[in-house]
Structure 1
Amino acid sequence: MATIEILGVPHAYELTAPTNYPDTLVFIHGWLNSRGYWQPVISRLSDDFQCLSYDLRGFGESQQKLKTDFSQEQNYFSQSTKSSRAVVDSFDSVYTPAAYTQDLADILKQLNVKSAWLIGHSLGGTIALWGAAHMPECVKGVICINSGGGIYLKEAFEQFRSAGQRFLQVRPKWLGQLPLIDLLFTRASVARPLERNWARQRVIDFVVADPEAALGALLDSTTEEEINCLPQLVAQLKQPIYFLAGAEDKVMEPKYVRHLASFHPLFSYCGDNVIEIPDCGHLAMLEQPDAVATHIRSVVKNQSSVVNC
């Protein structure tokens, strides 16, 4: 495992060999996931493209020290649930999508990646969009997977944030040792059950995620200001922006993906920039890796003709 230190945190990453294609594909995972979820897609693309995947700060192996004692974490959550507004304020400049974009910029700089396509899943898609805005000279395009939104529904988001906090509290260190616990994760948020090895990885990533990063990223990415900013962000981007949606995604429904995509010029100038994948839930890169890899290859290879049409 290779690492790059950013803000005192070692960031774990994997970089495949260079190819003749000039742009590097940079894969950004979603909330409570890790870089390994991209491997099925990267294995299908790495012969043609150099691929970079990494763990976001506080997730996977990008942590100062993986936690084995959850007593402090439970105390942290018992305090934080008293005032979620205070938690949001305390994390404002640390766990926002824009803050994670700065981490990404540092990684690309240290690895000397000067030309890239950003490919982000769920929260990673939001980070990719911010990356395109902040690094227009480097980012040639963005592909968001199971990522969209831009409509703030107050009651729904308050319920989502509250449920997320409660979900994060149920993380005793022995959870991963429970017999058959992974079976619950084979079916969560997907259209059809995942293989057991991916379910076990989901359990691991759920348990080891840093509590402050997990809660901070959840709350900071779902504020009214952040959600309402997304359409403006997409509208100003000059690079080609595409969206892959799971037809059966209940976390980020296709209608919300299409809504955010509609603010980009490609939606009206060159035809629909939303590609819907049948029989697919919220983890497209695991559920339908062949389709995801095929669409990424097509978009990236054909981006010049698409932009100029």
Structure 2
Amino acid sequence: MATIEILGATHAYELTPPRASSSPVLVFIHGWLLSRNYWQPLIDRLDNDYQCLVYDLRGFGDSQSPTDKTPNPKSGLGTTTCGEAAANDSAALTSAQCSSTGVDATHLSTSNYTLAAYARDLGILLEKLDIDNAWLIGHSLGGSIALWGASVASERVKGVICLNAGGGIYLKEEFERFRNVGKQLVKRRPQWLCYLPLIDVLFTRAQVARPLARRWGRQRVIDFVVAHPEAALRSLLDSTTEAEVHRLPQMVSQLQQPVYFLAGANDTVMAPKYVRHLASFHKLFQNGGANVIEIPNCGHLAMVEQPDIVDTQIRRILAESVS
């Protein structure tokens, strides 16, 4: 793991060795309450042919200040053990949850957690790493950030692939319910959650078509607990306002780069019909909806649930876009 400073915040990233000079760099962007770790099954399949960049979004995973989280490179699948992560994060949790006016000077401001702000961070990351031929691959919230990133850094981004990402329809009652549930999740992350017997088993079954390997359940618990409270809350609330939801289709319609959407047939978080709705605003959809691929037996974590299918589709999309 390497780190880089972006607008005062340390960002953790990994960059595989360069491949053919004509090949794009694949940039992977994770979703809400997750981290870069979930892309590893795909990177293992792709990095022989493509250089891959994976990073933690501001306030998630290892992209946090030392006062919020202490990395531990010996902890296996993740970079911090669950107990250590919870202990290191407890001060930040207490501080943010008890404050009604925002975070103190040691924490990041709320303006850093909008889709536009995350796209800004991404553009700076690409510039600092001298990447000018990128395809962005974003999951869920990361898909929305990828779309914004394609607009903000259009000269560097040559295409976008969204996994389990869609939307563009604002249903007031459903969004209010979703936001309220999300707020409760962020508030109720006690440090002892990591020690709860079999909690990782519960996380292997959440939002997926079939249970994941138990190590992924463990990783999900870690990422759930260590996410910075302000980042977790603001990224949820700021990305689900009525204005933001309606802005996304407008952005998709204006993108000149190819944009593709991979939907999980059994995704209960982002149902395929909502993926198709957002995809329909892009010019490629006019060709019989060819920019939407539905993956069978797949829930909301396509890159972990069906990595072989996702790998095949990414390679096909890239091959067609170059030809």
* Shorter-chain TM-score above 0.5: yes
Residue 300, structure 1, aligned to residue 309, structure 2? no
Provide Cα deviations, 1:240-267, integer angstroms capped at 9, x if missing partner: 0000000000000000000000000000
Q: 1:170 offset after TM fit, Å?
A: 1.4
- When the two structures are aligned, how many residues end up with a matched partner? 297
Q: What secondary structure, in the 3-state scheme, does the structure 2 residue paired with 1:11 have?
A: strand
Residue pair 1:23, 1:116 contacting (<8 A) in 2 also: yes
TM-score, normalising length: structure 2: 0.89
Residue pair 1:280, 1:288 contacting (<8 A) in 2 also: yes
**Percent identity for Structure 1 against Structure 2:** 64
Residue pair 2:24, 2:133 contacting (<8 A) in 1 also: yes
Larger deviation, residues 146-155 vs 167-176: 167-176
Q: 1:76 offset after TM fit, Å?
A: 2.9
Partner of 1:68: 88
Larger deviation, residues 259-268 vs 67-76: 67-76
Q: 1:188 offset after TM fit, Å?
A: 0.3
Residue pair 1:250, 1:281 contacting (<8 A) in 2 also: yes
Residue pair 2:264, 2:299 contacting (<8 A) in 1 also: yes
| CA separation of 1:299 and 1:171: change in aligned 2, threshold 3 A | same
Partner of 1:16: 16
Whole-angstrom distance in 1 between the partners of 2:43 and 2:115: 24
1:114-153 to structure 2, matched below 5 A, reads 114-153=132-171
Q: 1:179 offset after TM fit, Å?
A: 1.5
Partner of 1:86: none
**What amino acid is aligned across from residue 6 of structure 2 in structure 1?**
I
TM-score, normalising length: structure 1: 0.92
Q: 1:75 offset after TM fit, Å?
A: 5.5
Larger deviation, residues 28-37 vs 70-79: 70-79
1:1-309 to structure 2, matched below 5 A, reads 1-20=1-20, 21-65=22-66, 66=69, 68=88, 70=90, 73-74=93-94, 76-77=96-97, 91=110, 93-269=111-287, 271-305=289-323
Provide Cα deviations, 1:128-160, integer angstroms capped at 9, x if missing partner: 000111111111000000000000011111110
Whole-angstrom distance in 2 between the partners of 1:109 and 1:4: 12
Residue pair 2:280, 2:289 contacting (<8 A) in 1 also: no
Consecutive unaligned residues of structure 1, counting only runs of 5 or more, are: 84-89
**What amino acid is aligned across from residue 116 of structure 1 in structure 2?**
A
Consecutive unaligned residues of structure 2, counting only runs of 5 or more, are: 70-86, 103-108
| CA separation of 1:261 and 1:197: change in aligned 2, threshold 3 A | same
Q: 1:78 offset after TM fit, Å?
A: 5.3
Q: 1:304 offset after TM fit, Å?
A: 3.6
Provide Cα deviations, 1:58-109, integer angstroms capped at 9, x if missing partner: 00000002162525524533555x99xxxxxx73x32111100111111111
Whole-angstrom distance in 2 between the partners of 1:60 and 1:39: 14
